[in-house]
Amino acid sequence: MTRQKQSDGAARARVIAFANQKGGVAKSTTAEAFAASLTARGYAVLMVDMDAQPGNLSMHVGADKDLPGTLELLEHRRPMREKVLRCIQPTRSFGDVICANEDLDDADKSLSSRVGRELMLSRALEPVLGDYDFVVVDTPPALQLRTLNGIAAADDVVVPCMADASSVAGMEAVLECVAEVREFVRGAQPRVAGIVVTRYDARNNLEPEMLDRIAEIAAEHGAVLLGRGVRNTVNARKAQRSGEALRRFAPQSTAALDYEEAVSAYLADIGITDD
Ligand SMILES: Nc1ncnc2c1ncn2[C@@H]1O[C@H](COP(=O)(O)OP(=O)(O)OP(=O)(O)O)[C@@H](O)[C@H]1O
Ligand SMILES: [Mg+2]
């Protein structure tokens, strides 16, 4: 573990899953920003990458993909602490990570025939939940089994969403999926913590209108917008290319400030206010 956890020794980490059915809406960027910000605020954070695509969170945070990762984590039917610990590696500024192995996609077939298949991640994380304050789970852009595992393992689901119609459709699919997991997956009680509007461009006339629509849909599902939207800036891409957290690469950039606001809103929502 990179950091000493802040919460009471016996407390279990809060698991936050980042999901949207649509690709490219800044799920990984948002998960990374949350992990880096929570780490900088002194929390012990573990990231879990459920997406094997090139350009995933593991790549951005500089994880070594040759080390054991999510695949080894999910493979054990009865996860033991030492085996889970072997899958965890430290990063420079994002906390610890369980990286997504390149052959994770190939494992879907065998994982999908497992009994209790929606709860593989939840069970696997159990032995280390006491070591962390937060576990940040990044998911692939589809409501497939690994995404369902992320949602079923979560206390809080955060939906990154761009202000366009197809991202909003992807957001609605996740909101419905969370409700279904609550109803049908025994023992899973995820709730939607909020929506983060991403890659926001207020100069594009359609986006402010869409932002209002996102707030309406969120409210219909009892969810809120976390912050006022993360503005589009080339620094977000540059930071990922350099393997550095945006908040360190360009601390005064619009997106870095906007993500801090979103994280503060999330913490306030779970009853933690800034000093
Ligand atoms: N605020 C921002 N400003 C500019 N570019 C951004 C911003 N946030 C994210 N991006 C860029 O958008 C692209 C997609 O982001 P990201 O990989 O986080 O999306 P994703 O939803 O995880 O994608 P996928 O569905 O493929 O997993 C990346 O190139 C990223 O650098
Ligand atoms: Mg991603």
- Are the CB atoms for 6 and 44 separated by under 8 Å? yes
Atom of ligand 1 minimally distant from the CA of 232? 3
State residue 6's pLDDT score: 85
Cα–Cα distance measured from residue 122 to residue 129, given in angstroms and rounded to the nearest whole number: 10
Q: Evaluate whether residue 238 is within a structural domain.
A: yes
Q: State which of 29, 51, 57 you would mutate to test the pocket of ligand 1, scoring each by most atoms of that ligand within 8 A of its C-beta.
A: 29
**272: which residues sit within 8 A by CB, 6+ positions away?**
none
266: nearest Cα among 219, 230, 225, 232 = 225
CATH number of 124's domain? 3.40.50.300
State residue 255's pLDDT score: 98
Cα–Cα distance measured from residue 264 to residue 271, given in angstroms and rounded to the nearest whole number: 10
Cα–Cα distance measured from residue 203 to residue 76, given in angstroms and rounded to the nearest whole number: 49
Q: How does pLDDT run along the chain (275 residues), one tens digit per residue?
A: 777 888 877 799 999 999 999 999 999 999 999 999 999 999 999 999 999 998 899 999 999 999 999 999 998 888 899 999 999 999 999 999 999 988 888 888 888 999 999 999 999 999 999 999 999 999 999 999 999 999 999 999 999 999 999 999 999 999 999 999 999 999 999 999 999 999 999 888 888 899 999 999 999 988 999 999 999 999 999 999 999 999 999 999 999 999 999 999 999 999 998 65
Here the tokens at position 51 are 């997406």
Cα–Cα distance measured from residue 164 to residue 90, given in angstroms and rounded to the nearest whole number: 36
Q: Evaluate whether residue 6 is within a structural domain.
A: no
- How many structural domains does the chain have? 1
Cα–Cα distance measured from residue 61 to residue 90, given in angstroms and rounded to the nearest whole number: 10
Q: Evaluate whether residue 4 is within a structural domain.
A: no
- For residue 275, report the distance from its CA to the centre of ligand 1, in Å: 30
State residue 275's pLDDT score: 55
- For residue 151, report the distance from its CA to the centre of ligand 2, in Å: 15
Ligand 1 pocket by Cβ (under 6 Å): 23-29, 51, 53, 55, 141, 198-199, 230, 232-233, 236-237, 240, 255
- Are the CB atoms for 181 and 148 separated by under 8 Å? yes
Q: Evaluate whether residue 275 is within a structural domain.
A: no
Atom of ligand 1 minimally distant from the CA of 25? 21
User: Range of 163's domain?
Assistant: 14-268
Q: What angle do CA 126, 182, 83 make, to 5 degrees?
A: 15
43: nearest Cα among 2, 77, 82 = 2
Structure pTM? 0.97
DSSP notation for 20-76: -SSTTSSHHHHHHHHHHHHHHTT--EEEEE---STT-HHHHTT--TTS--HHHHHH-
Cα Rg of the chain (Å, integer): 17
Cα–Cα distance measured from residue 132 to residue 117, given in angstroms and rounded to the nearest whole number: 24
State residue 16's pLDDT score: 98
Nearest CA to ligand 1 atom 29: 237
Cα–Cα distance measured from residue 270 to residue 145, given in angstroms and rounded to the nearest whole number: 27
Q: Evaluate whether residue 7 is within a structural domain.
A: no
Q: Evaluate whether residue 151 is within a structural domain.
A: yes
225 DSSP assignment: B
- Position 86: which residue type? R
- For residue 116, report the distance from its CA to the centre of ligand 1, in Å: 32
Q: Which ligand is nearest to the CA of 196?
A: 1
